């Protein structure tokens, strides 16, 4: 099975964990970038009006992969809007995927919202709420390398159990 890790990260937390997971699995890591700087107002407007921002690379970069492991934060109870075009592509192409969300707190409806964008449930869903995982009191926390390694180890253990890696 050919796998790839795809990450979007505003704070750098998801990117750090994604890099470590990709290295641990020995697979490619694709980083999504937006064409313009993300501001709080953009995030609010994207969520309210259900907008999908443009990102690079385009989602068709996933064509050669059988399983895509997405990493992204959760904003106001929604998966980061830059990931929407990838979720739509995954659903249209009927790709298997998993979602790892390194986020501030717990989001009870995450699976339903992600499934709504992709039209297909994720095979793997892990929500790593740093307020719980690390005991920090703020959702705006920046991970250090050791903390990112700890979270990546948790993801890898979960994936090994799921995929028998």
Instruction: Indicate which CATH number applies to the domain containing 69.
Output: 3.40.50.360
For 84, the domain range is 3-159
Inter-residue contact 165 to 36 (CB < 8 Å): no
Number of compact structural domains in the chain? 1
Asked whether residue 75 is domain-assigned, the answer is: yes
- When pLDDT is averaged across residues 147-162 and rounded to a whole number, the result is 94
pLDDT higher than threshold 70 for residue 165: no
Distance between CA atoms of residues 78 and 88, nearest Å: 15
What pLDDT sits at residue 106? 80
Whole-number pLDDT of residue 18: 98
Banded pLDDT at 158 (limits 50, 70, 90)? very high
Residue 51 lies in a domain: yes
In this predicted structure, the answer to whether residue 64 has a pLDDT above a threshold of 90 is yes
Percent of the chain with pLDDT over 90: 59
pLDDT tens per residue across span 117-137:
999 999 999 999 988 898 887
Q: In the predicted model, is pLDDT for residue 164 greater than 80?
A: no
Q: What is the mean pLDDT of the chain?
A: 90
Of the candidates 78, 67, 38, 66, which has an alpha carbon nearest to the alpha carbon of residue 54?
38
pTM of this prediction?
Answer: 0.89
pLDDT for 132: 87
Tell me whether residue 165 is in a domain: no
In the predicted model, is pLDDT for residue 148 greater than 60? yes
The DSSP bridge partners found for residue 127 are 101
In a domain, 164, yes or no: no
How would you class 125 by CB atoms within 10 Å of its CB: exposed for 0-12, middle for 13-18, buried for 19 or more? middle
């Amino acid at each position: 099975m050919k796998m790839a890790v795809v990450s979007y990260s505003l704070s750098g937390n998801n990117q750090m964990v994604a890099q470590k997971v990709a290295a641990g699995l020995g697979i490619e890591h694709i980083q999504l970038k937006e064409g313009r700087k993300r501001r709080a107002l953009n995030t609010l407007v994207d969520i309210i009006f259900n907008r999908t921002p443009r990102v690079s690379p385009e989602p068709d970069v996933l064509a050669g992969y059988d399983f895509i492991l997405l990493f992204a934060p959760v904003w106001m109870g929604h998966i980061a809007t830059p990931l929407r075009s990838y979720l739509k592509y995954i659903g249209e192409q009927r790709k298997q995927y998993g979602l790892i969300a390194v986020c501030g707190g717990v989001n009870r409806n995450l699976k339903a919202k992600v499934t709504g964008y992709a039209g297909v449930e994720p095979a793997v869903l892990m929500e790593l709420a740093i307020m719980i995982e690390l005991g920090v009191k703020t959702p705006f926390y920046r991970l250090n390398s050791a903390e990112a390694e700890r979270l990546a180890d948790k993801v890898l253990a979960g994936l090994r159990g799921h995929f028998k890696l």
